[in-house]
Structure 1
Amino acid sequence: MKIFLKKLAFFFIPIILYVIIVLSLDIFKIFKDYNNYYNQDITTLNRTYVSTKIFQKNKDSVNYDSFIFGSSRSQAFKTPIWKHYLPEKSVPFHYDAHSEDLYGIYKKLEFLDDVNSPINHALIIIDRAVLSGTIKRLNHLYINPVEFNDVSKYEFYSSFILANLNPRFMMAYADFYCFKTYRNYMKNYVRMDKYPDTFTPIYNDSYYGLAKEIKEDSLGYYNKLKQQGVFYQRPQESNITLEKTKREIDLLNKIKSIFNKHDTNYKIVVSPLYDQIPMEEEQLVLLYSIFDKDKVFDFSGKNNLTEPISNYFESSHYKPNVAKIILDSIY
């Protein structure tokens, strides 16, 4: 019996120690509450979770009533700028997520409705990738918080524990955490930008550090990305046609129902992406049929916004000056 207990101890003690380390480090910042979730941010956090925590922390004192939804591309739209187009007393919040999709946008709106938050104004930034995502995701970077009522606590926390079990990730994190030295092998596991992104604590805007790098040497920056193939020849033809689905139609109708309930003044923007691939006509017709046609604005394809590479940080994200032009044209 003693031998069995010793073997059992040898098996469980490392696991218990590992769990203690994971809980104490709280690498993905989901086991504790933080005043600043992005302080010393060396790993990518679950943006939906963090945004929801920031909203919950401030909603009673700040009284948010206007929201920007979308992927990280929506961060071109800054709440202080958007506020100029809203009634004077409006309080905006940027409720985006990494690689956001249609399902994620709907669940955020449903959550706001469930907690009786006003949704007086909404700005939804979409593209083909956003519309294609119509089911929940369980990856630790994209899984919804338990407050959204579509995952259990077990599913939520286990996704992060499993991510912590990746030996390469843990080695890279521990190495950087202890020695504060970035090594080449850490590229896929540790964030190390020349100028880190910054985040506003109340309105949840993100300001890309790349803007400082471009300001420092714009010519060198764009020449480097051209040589690396980041900025490629356009337009490119898409091999994939985004066809409408029953699930997509259902989610769009649910979003519209929430807008109707709250009498929301909303705008839907199809992003001007670098690839210049236009939104499918079938998708636009679908959007026009569900939402008010004068509330849907298509900036995709080849146009004066997508032509200059100087309008982009890289081939995925456009700059705030582009968003400002869009806001001027839709309000």
Structure 2
Amino acid sequence: MEKIPETITDAPIRKRAAFLRLVRKSLWFALPFWALMALYVYDDPFMVLRKYDVYDSDVMLNEHHVGWQIYRNHKDSVHFNSFILGNSSTMAFRCAEWEKYLAPGDRAIRLFGNGESLKAISLKLHALEKEGAEIKNVLLVLDRTSLSRISPLSGYSNVLPAAVSGASPFVVQMEFMQAFAMPDFLFPYLKYRITRRVEPDMKRMNLYGRIRDSRNNDSFNPREKMIEQEGEAYWKNRKQEFPERKGMAVVEEPVLFQRQRELLEEIRKVLRRHDTSVRVLISPDYSQKALHPDDSAFLQSIFGKENVYDFSGINEFTEDYHHYYESGHYRPLLGNKLLERVYNTHHSG
């Protein structure tokens, strides 16, 4: 039987059919991706797609975004004019306690970041300027690591809000979408979504419930309740979290070089434009290692000797282990003592 030759019109039809088959296959392969994105948008697990009245979750959130959103939520009603900036050690300073040392009517909020950098602090101050904020008082809580760090850390938990960094909102959101799709988060999250239980081995999940104040971003550290319940046993049973100290004075190497000094100058310029009352507090780290005198001297030259308080090294505050949750963070018990020392010293001076 003679084969019928393909007509001119048959070829396009065959190509279209092949193309449609490819499209259908692609859609089937892409279906899990689109389902994942739909779940991400619907759940908004990191609370960055929509506005919320309360920023607490069973998922560990990005503290830069949380602090900024709490500020935006309440700035018109509370009229914040006082800002606690710095790293996670800011958890030791309660806004209401600091307000006792400020003028009547001054209202404070905590805008911190885990592993905070000097650049992030500068960007937050500039963002507050753009918002038209009155920057009357600033409490800057730093340590050697923060002073050395010139750029924000990477990853979803450290990316700054677009309104603060000036980055594209799409680029910022991509950080969160990528974190959501990573197996070490996604699989535990899907299990949590089914069981509604947070288990200790679930990465990036919050075991403790409410951990912050929804109006001023004060920290509610769950370890405070553990100390209340356990008493002295809290420290006795956690010796691995409190390494033995040699009791000898150790001075760290300098960390303030050209780029760090430029960023500190940027921060000072913003504060000077607003005639801000600033206190710079170097944290009393459990390690008892002292900030290098050159770094301390430069901070004094920038912010004024009377406004810089270096509590690093061996002193009455670092000696008492009861002041610490673990070797990396200290308690409001100590924060209150430091505020009293800072403001009483300043006023008496």
Residue 255 of structure 2 aligns with an amino acid whose one-letter code is E
Tell me the residue number matched to 2:90.
Answer: 74
Matches within 5 A, 1:124-163: 124-163=140-179
d(CA) in 1 for partners of 2:324, 2:267: 30
Q: Please, which of 225, 228, 244 is the counterpart of residue 256 of structure 2? A: 244
* Distance apart, 1:234 and its partner CA: 1.3
Identity %: 27
Check if 1:232 corresponds to 2:247.
no
Tell me the residue number matched to 1:309.
Answer: 321
Which SS does the other structure have where 1:185 is aligned?
Answer: coil
Q: Please, which of 333, 337, 349 is the counterpart of residue 325 of structure 1? A: 337
Closer/same/farther in 2, CA of residues 125 and 239 from structure 1, 3 Å limit: closer
Which portions of structure 1, spanning 4 or more consecutive aligned residues, are displaced by more than 6 angstroms? 236-240
| 5+ long unaligned stretches in structure 1 | none
Q: Confirm or deny: 8 A CA contact 2:150 2:260 kept in the other structure.
A: yes
Tell me the residue number matched to 1:216.
Answer: 229
Q: Confirm or deny: 8 A CA contact 2:117 2:152 kept in the other structure.
A: no
Check if 1:254 corresponds to 2:266.
yes
Between 1:9-18 and 1:29-38, the stretch displaced more is 9-18
The number of equivalent residue pairs is: 324
C-alpha distance after superposition, 1:96-123 (max 9, x if no partner):
1222121111111111112120011111
Q: Confirm or deny: 8 A CA contact 2:251 2:290 kept in the other structure.
A: no
State TM-score, norm by structure 2.
0.88
Q: Please, which of 47, 51, 63 is the counterpart of residue 29 of structure 1? A: 47
C-alpha distance after superposition, 1:203-252 (max 9, x if no partner):
111121111111001222212211xx110111489897343222111110
Tell me the residue number matched to 1:192.
Answer: 207
Check if 1:280 corresponds to 2:288.
no
Larger Rg computed on CA atoms? 2
C-alpha distance after superposition, 1:69-93 (max 9, x if no partner):
1112111010111111000111111
Between 1:160-169 and 1:238-247, the stretch displaced more is 238-247
d(CA) in 1 for partners of 2:77, 2:170: 31
d(CA) in 1 for partners of 2:228, 2:294: 40
State TM-score, norm by structure 1.
0.93
Q: Confirm or deny: 8 A CA contact 2:93 2:335 kept in the other structure.
A: yes
d(CA) in 2 for partners of 1:135, 1:152: 17
Tell me the residue number matched to 1:15.
Answer: 33
Closer/same/farther in 2, CA of residues 73 and 136 from structure 1, 3 Å limit: closer
Closer/same/farther in 2, CA of residues 149 and 192 from structure 1, 3 Å limit: closer
Check if 1:172 corresponds to 2:188.
yes
Q: Confirm or deny: 8 A CA contact 1:172 1:189 kept in the other structure.
A: no
Closer/same/farther in 2, CA of residues 271 and 329 from structure 1, 3 Å limit: same
| 5+ long unaligned stretches in structure 2 | 1-18, 344-349
